[in-house]
Amino acid sequence: MSVVIAGRILPNKKHIVIGLTTIFGIGLNRSKDVCNKLGLEVTKKVETLTPEEVDQLREAVAEYIIEGDLRREVNMHKKRLLDIGCYRGIRHRRGLPVRGQRTKTNARTRKGRRRG
| pLDDT reading at 85 higher than 80 | yes
Domain check: are 54 and 73 in the same one? no
At 66, is the secondary structure helix, strand, or coil? coil
- Where do the DSSP E strands lie in the chain? 3-5, 8-10
Q: How many domains does the chain have?
A: 2
At 91, is the secondary structure helix, strand, or coil? helix
Dist CA 95 CA 109 (whole Å): 10
Domain that residue 73 falls in: 67-100
Domain check: are 38 and 52 in the same one? yes
pLDDT at residue 63, as a whole number: 95
Q: Residue 22 in contact with residue 8, Cβ under 8 Å?
A: yes
Per-residue pLDDT tens for 2-24? 899 999 999 999 999 999 999 99
In a domain, 28, yes or no: yes
CATH number at residue 89: 4.10.910.10
- 8 forms beta bridges with 5
86: left (phi over 0), alpha (psi -120 to 50) or beta: beta
